Amino acid sequence: MILHNKEYIKRQYYLQKALSFVDKNLIKVFTGQRRTGKSYMMLQVMDEILEIHPLAQIIFIDKELMAFDFIKNAEDLMNYLSEKINNKKRAYIFIDEVQEIFEFEKVLRSILNEGIADIWCTGSNAEILTGELADRLSGRYVEIQIHGLSYLEFLEFHSLDNVNESLFKYLKYGGLPNLRNIPLEENTAFDYLKSINSTVLLKDVIKRHQIRNVSVLENLIRYLADNTGSLFSATSISKFLKSQGQKISSSIISNYLSYILDSYYLIKARRFDLQGKRIFEINEKYYFEDLGLRNAWLGYQPMHINKLIENVVFKHILEQEFKITIGQLGDKKIDFVSEKPGKRIYIQCAYLIPDNKTREREFGNLLKIKDNHRKMVISMDEPSGGNIEGIEHIHLRDFLSTRF
């Protein structure tokens, strides 16, 4: 489909969710890491609105274009919109990267209160939904978080079959939508991904938080990439960096981690005591929004396949709006405890299950959980034995092709 001379493939899951909020008296905010497709989701919503209301007035502000560089603050934004809005038509306002406009929330609140337009915007930093915006709007906005391509979307975007070769490409290059326009070849793809890493860090972390010690930030991300899925704290990271010759306090590490999390680049998973029913206050795991960006820091390393599988399983559950924790059962660990209203799924991840010892470890931890919720082991070998005492053994391809 073509809109504004841009070609796109519809992302039906997010599109249908967004369309349920058309003409609702709420500010619709697409959030997520840069380059995950938020702008194109707005284009898709615009098209759908014009199908429903052919005479609708679409006002589109793209803060990544120089043409809109003059809109720097709330006053500039209000003046521009006041000139553009035609009171004889139903107006739909779309603002891309709204966080680039100082005190934008004042204008959005005013327009919302007057009911003169339906408001849509995107943001690449979680701070836009905290502080002033949250206080001023108090529940009068809805967040629609946009992730990179799911595995099935990746197959569609790249015209690939659902086979192991395609799965390994997904684990290697990740799911940024624009990779569709770039050959999936190591040098070309990773050059592109490295440029996105630089853009995300520069715009959403370094400039926003005025970070001067960029090398520490980069080494921190490399450490997180090399230890994807490991438990650690700011203190343990600080000790590691000190051993590498960079003396950085744990409080600064905590700040840097929060900045990276706010850019949607990383997602944190906390530990949950399945016996005591409480969240542990220390030692968390960090996963990457996009595996391609993660791999661009280190180069693709097949020896990290277990880490990549764990990350991609985490993301697949997260995209379906589960709350995810790391399960602790005595001295045993459950990779993921995934919950949403009326549903809980326990998940263990492995690359291969070649022998009885591995099978006993992966299935044995789940067998110790004495409830009736769904339990599954995800791996990349073809399940041969069926379920074991109710625990499902699922190939990673099949898992990533299923919504739960």
Q: Does pLDDT of 2 surpass 50?
A: no
Per DSSP, 89 falls in state: S
Give the percent of the chain with pLDDT over 90. 82
Half-sphere exposure of 286 (CA within 13 A, CB side): 24
Which domains are seen in the chain, by residue range?
A: 2-145 (3.40.50.300), 151-400 (no CATH)
User: Average pLDDT of 355-382?
Assistant: 92
Measured torsion, CA atoms of residues 404, 267, 34, 63, in degrees rounded to the nearest 10: 110
Exposure string of 95-120, with b = 16+ CB inside 10 Å and e = fewer, is: bbbbbbbeebbbbbbebbeeebbbbb
The Cα 315–Cα 321 span in angstroms is 10
User: What confidence tens digit (pLDDT) does each residue in 25-35 have?
Assistant: 999 999 999 99
Amino acid at 56: A
> Mean pLDDT across the stretch 110-119?
94
CB contact at 8 A, 96 and 119 = no
Of 295, 287, 317, 303, nearest to 394 (Cα)?
Answer: 317
Average pLDDT estimate for 266-274: 96
Q: What average pLDDT does the segment 235-256 reach?
A: 93
Average pLDDT over residues 185-203: 95
The two tokens of residue 86 are 């035609």
41's tokens: 């989701």
pLDDT at 206 over 90: yes
pLDDT for 6: 75
What does pTM read for this prediction?
0.94
The mean pLDDT value of the chain amounts to 93
Low-confidence winner among 226-230, 279-283, 323-327, 374-378 (lowest mean pLDDT): 279-283
Query: Buried b vs exposed e over 28-51: b needs ≥16 C-beta within 10 Å?
Result: bbbbbbbbbbbbbbbbbbbbbbee
Condensed to tens digits (0 to 9), the pLDDT of residues 65-99 reads 999 999 999 999 999 999 999 988 999 999 999 99
